[in-house]
Amino acid sequence: MTNAINSQPQVSGTSYSIASPGSSDWSSKTCGCFDDIGICLCGMIFPLCLCIKVALDHEESCCVPFLPGAMVALRTSMRSRYQINGSVCGDWKVMACCFMCGLCQLAREQKMRR
């Protein structure tokens, strides 16, 4: 009785890309605040209120803006829901470097998608 192995298991490669089929870009630029002056003014005068509105419109808790890093997670979640191209690192860069512009972009995206 011989138990000879006649073939080797094959390894298949997997490729990953940031853009998935059916994905899109943000409907407005990060610094496109003048695309919607109302959202821009609300974000500049009452940023906490706009944070809470964005979180609630995304069906999240109104406490999200008070949690460290939660707005980055909210942006990532919104990208995933609307199949928007990007990465978690990019989300972090926008929310860490230009929070007000990133917040207004989130609000504009929600308004456009409804």
Taking the model in full, what pTM does it have?
0.79
Closest by CA to 31, choosing from 96, 101, 93, is 101
Q: What is the mean pLDDT of residues 33-58?
A: 94
Closest by CA to 64, choosing from 52, 78, 46, 76, is 52
The number of distinct structural domains making up the chain is 1
Per-residue pLDDT tens over the stretch 48-77: 999 999 999 999 999 999 999 999 999 999
Q: Does 51 reside within a domain?
A: yes
CA distances for 40 relative to 1, 8, 29, angstroms: 79, 61, 13
Q: Does 70 reside within a domain?
A: yes
Question: Which has the higher per-residue pLDDT, 15 or 103?
Answer: 103
Q: Does 84 reside within a domain?
A: yes
Q: Does 47 reside within a domain?
A: yes
Q: Does 102 reside within a domain?
A: yes
Q: Does 28 reside within a domain?
A: no
Instruction: Kindly state the percentage of the chain with pLDDT values over 90.
Output: 74
Tell me which residue range forms the domain holding 106: 34-113
